[in-house]
Amino acid sequence: MKTKTFLLLAVLASQFAVPAQTASNQQSPTASAFFPFCIDWHDAKKRSFEQQAQMLKELGYPGVGHIWLDKIEERLATLDAVGLRLFQITTTVDIAPGKAPYDAARFKEVLALIKDRRVQFCLIFKGAPPSDTSADSHAVEILREMSDLAKDSGAQLLLYPHQKNWIERVEDSIRVADKVDRPNVGVMFNLCHWLRVDPSRDYRPLLMGALPRLWAVSINGADDRDEEPSWKRYIQPLDQGSFDVGTLLKTLNEIGYHGPIGLQCYGIGGDAREHLARSLMKWRDLSRQLEGAR
């Protein structure tokens, strides 16, 4: 039974692995689509969705991630107009007792909008202390309900580890996803949050343990260590920072991960076009290095 479940999850995950050649001038030996998210909040140019889509098209990105459930209609229209894809939607789930965990009406509307687009919902959990296992049973009920709602849309639900939230560590996301035990509920590895909460810096066994439910990864430039509470050193353009992102990508390739890879851009100021261009150039450099090592 476990073997059959593993194979089913692997097949479902492969449906979201989009070849990087989606953008003609973007190449990756891992066949992972590489897209940015959180690109609009700190953009000095304050670009509209239409301007963002045009910028991403010109730079060579295949699409983008969207934050929260509002304005999905506008985001889809502007991406469709230039032939780009919406990869992910980030939203919150409140597991506090007596609270409405999510806006069910809006969630259903969005599911109808993204039907058959292979969108991933990145779920950030609040309402309980970080890693508190006593909240598992209530959260599992909520996630199974969301899973049922999302089933016909073809979307995936990812448990997004986020510092100071209930799902704070990758281990939390694995534990809960296994309890939910639904084919459209998986986990995500976020480099910046992992750096903040896990001092070991030993990600390989963690990534291995996340398979086959590891369906998305986010990366960015970062320093190896930062004791300050801000994200300035843990979220940088991909071409900056002392952390060895190349070895992380090599490890993902070795363990057979070929799902989407998001570029975390939260808090990066200045003109978004400038740092997005630099990060894409670094991604191509890292991809060539991986190709040369094969």
pLDDT digits (tens, 9 = 90+) for 18-76: 444 433 334 343 458 999 999 998 999 999 999 999 999 999 999 999 999 999 999 99
User: In the 3-class helix/strand/coil scheme, how is the chain assigned residue by residue?
Assistant: CHHHHHHHHHHHHHCCCCCHHHCCCCCCCCCCCEEEECCCCCCCCCCCHHHHHHHHHHHCCCEEEEECCCCHHHHHHHHHHCCCEEEEEEEEEECCCCCCCCCHHHHHHHHHHCCCCCCEEEEEEECCCCCCHHHHHHHHHHHHHHHHHHHHHCCEEEECCCCCCCCCCHHHHHHHHHHHCCCCEEEEEEHHHHHHHCCCCCCHHHHHHHCCCEEEEEECECCCCCCCCCCCCCCECCCCCCCCHHHHHHHHHHCCCCCCEEEECCCCCCCHHHHHHHHHHHHHHHHHHHHHHC
pLDDT digits (tens, 9 = 90+) for 158-209: 999 999 999 999 999 999 999 999 999 999 999 999 999 999 999 999 999 9
Return the CATH architecture of domain 19-219+227-293. Answer: Alpha-Beta Barrel (3.20)
